Amino acid sequence: MKSIIYIGLLLLTLTSCQEDKGNYTYRNINEISVTGIAATKTVTQFSILGMSPVINQTMPVSADDLEYLWYVGKIDTLSQELNIQTPVNLYPDTYEAYFVVIQKSTGIFTKVPFKLVVESQLGQGLLVLSDLNGYANLAYWERSGEVVQDVYEKVNPGLHLGRNPYRVCYMFKGYSIPAFVTVMCHDEQGGCALNPVDFTKFKDYAELFYQTPDPLHPDGYGYSNYFNYDETAFGDLYNDFIINNGQLHERSTYVGWYQPAYAVDQDYRLSEYTFMGMMQYIFYDNEHSQFLQKTSWPPNSFSVVEVPEGYFRDLYLVYADRGFAGTDYPHYYCVFKEKTTSDHYFVEVLMSPSGFKPLKKEKIGFAVQEDMPFAVSFTTSAIFYGVGNELYCYDTGNGRSVSCYNEFGSGAEITALYLVPQYGESSQYPGETVLSAVKLFVGVSLPGQEREGSVFEFEVNLDNTLTFIRKKEHIAGKIVSMTWKY
């Protein structure tokens, strides 16, 4: 027993701590803490992220000895200022974000994590396509009145939409396909399609097709939802069309690509406009001055629409859109040019269950200029058009033109027109949506600044007069097209 005790004492002696005779110098450090940063910060895309944290120090040092860093993800720097005030060009999402304070002289730092929630700003509003410094450019005018310039470049740094912009279109959600915005350009790429939520690139224009057409030359876009069908949970039931280089390409609700909707041996060249209604899809062949109807059988072919002999002889379609019909079936208002002269004609056509029928043809009394912008009022019998810095209304009932507005500014030029309906709740039937107003947006070039494009907003009255509402000046380049984003 004594032997065991002696062995235990020996082991205790060998394993006991020895006296620490090292020479250490101890000093206090500056402990840094941060307050004033919420655990979650929610901000709207493209708006200003602003926060002013409070720095607490146990041994305060000068401001020159402190560095700051705000970042998201791995290392996507937002700011290097104490009080952050920076635009948020991130995609809508939830991010892990951090604020770091560093004392330069010691290397001591404090990192504060928080969640940054970026919400999409891009609800309903007007998309404005323009040519800015040789490139296609998109501006977005939100319904509340805020304008976001350079939408695409903000979320796609270093990229461009294309050159020689031609048209911007909103393409609705289908059963198996998302909604997207297509910017059409007359360049080698043809433009591209964008996600309408955050304006990231969705696809190149060429990727919209089952077979890439050659050449890539977008002309127009047409959309028609199925008659008497409501929107489904998966999107609208519809057919829509892209006209590329005068040839038709079709996409239905259940198909994700645009497919050739024509026989390769058919000789035609379509205008950019589509006539749709009563489950009919009709197009105008500018090559042979005739209307063609897409047939369901045989597939991928057209039949010539019968009209009074000589009615459209040697006529070239300049512009067409759905016009005022009252309680009748769809009416289309058209502007045609005679190929052998400088004469222009107004033509009104009806699309009814019994077929396609021209109703009126009369010579236009005003001079139609090349690239003249038009817009059709679908609540009154009128076509609006611009000449220089003056906006006119052509009354399709009496064939007369009157000036509507000319206060766009000295040297201004009207370059684009766009009409859009506005809906609201019925006062007579609560919960029911009804047409509340028709807005006319006028794209105007005001020379003298790099961003020459301005947009004026009007309400169309029932007597074809206009009520000025507001304007946004110098928000774009030379405006070529506008559309409403839903």
Structural domain spans, the chain: 32-119
Please state the rounded mean pLDDT for residues 46-73. Answer: 92
pLDDT in tens, 102-127: 999 999 999 999 999 887 777 789 99
pLDDT in tens, 413-468: 999 999 998 877 677 777 666 778 899 999 999 877 889 999 999 999 999 999 99
Please state the rounded mean pLDDT for residues 53-77. Answer: 90
pLDDT over 70 at 173, yes or no:
no
Check if the beta carbon of residue 30 is closer than 8 Å to that of residue 108: yes
Report CA Rg, the chain. Answer: 32
* Residue-level pLDDT at 131: 97
What are the structure tokens assigned to 232, written together? 């489904």
Name, in order, each residue with C-beta under 8 angstroms of 234's C-beta and a sequence gap of 6 or more.
173, 174, 175, 176
Please state the rounded mean pLDDT for residues 226-255. Answer: 64
pLDDT in tens, 231-244: 333 334 467 889 99
Check if the beta carbon of residue 249 is closer than 8 Å to that of residue 241: yes
Name, in order, each residue with C-beta under 8 angstroms of 457's C-beta and a sequence gap of 6 or more.
439, 440, 441, 442, 468, 469, 470, 471
Please state the rounded mean pLDDT for residues 70-87. Answer: 90
pLDDT over 50 at 226, yes or no:
no
Q: Give the number of other Cβ atoms within 10 Å of residue 228's Cβ.
A: 6
pLDDT over 70 at 478, yes or no:
yes
The pLDDT > 90 percentage for the chain reads 55
What are the structure tokens assigned to 362, written together? 């009369």
* Residue-level pLDDT at 451: 93
Check if the beta carbon of residue 48 is closer than 8 Å to that of residue 123: no
* Residue-level pLDDT at 230: 38
pLDDT over 70 at 377, yes or no:
yes
pLDDT over 80 at 227, yes or no:
no
Check if the beta carbon of residue 57 is closer than 8 Å to that of residue 34: no
Check if the beta carbon of residue 319 is closer than 8 Å to that of residue 336: no
Strand 66-72 vs strand 76-79: parallel, antiparallel, or unpaired? Answer: antiparallel
* Residue-level pLDDT at 81: 95
* Residue-level pLDDT at 135: 96
Q: How confident is the model at residue 291 (pLDDT cuts 50, 70, 90)?
A: very high
| Alpha-carbon distances of 58 from 34, 62, 68, rounded to whole Å | 12, 13, 18
Q: Which CATH architecture has domain 32-119?
A: Sandwich (2.60)
Q: How confident is the model at residue 13 (pLDDT cuts 50, 70, 90)?
A: low
* Residue-level pLDDT at 18: 55
pLDDT in tens, 129-166: 999 999 999 999 988 888 999 999 988 888 999 999 99
Q: What is the mean pLDDT of the chain?
A: 86
pTM for the whole thing?
Answer: 0.78
> Which of 212-221, 276-285, 389-398, 460-469 has the least mean pLDDT?
276-285
* Residue-level pLDDT at 344: 97
* Residue-level pLDDT at 390: 97
Please state the rounded mean pLDDT for residues 175-186. Answer: 83
Sign of the torsion angle spanned by Cα atoms 215, 216, 222, 223: positive
Rounded Cα distance between 146 and 149, Å, is 10
Please state the rounded mean pLDDT for residues 74-95. Answer: 86
Rounded Cα distance between 291 and 356, Å, is 9
| Alpha-carbon distances of 142 from 124, 146, 382, 408, 473, rounded to whole Å | 7, 5, 27, 22, 15
Please state the rounded mean pLDDT for residues 328-340. Answer: 94
Furthest CA-CA distance within the chain: 132
Q: How confident is the model at residue 262 (pLDDT cuts 50, 70, 90)?
A: low
* Residue-level pLDDT at 14: 47
Rounded Cα distance between 281 and 80, Å, is 58
pLDDT in tens, 349-369: 999 888 899 999 999 989 999
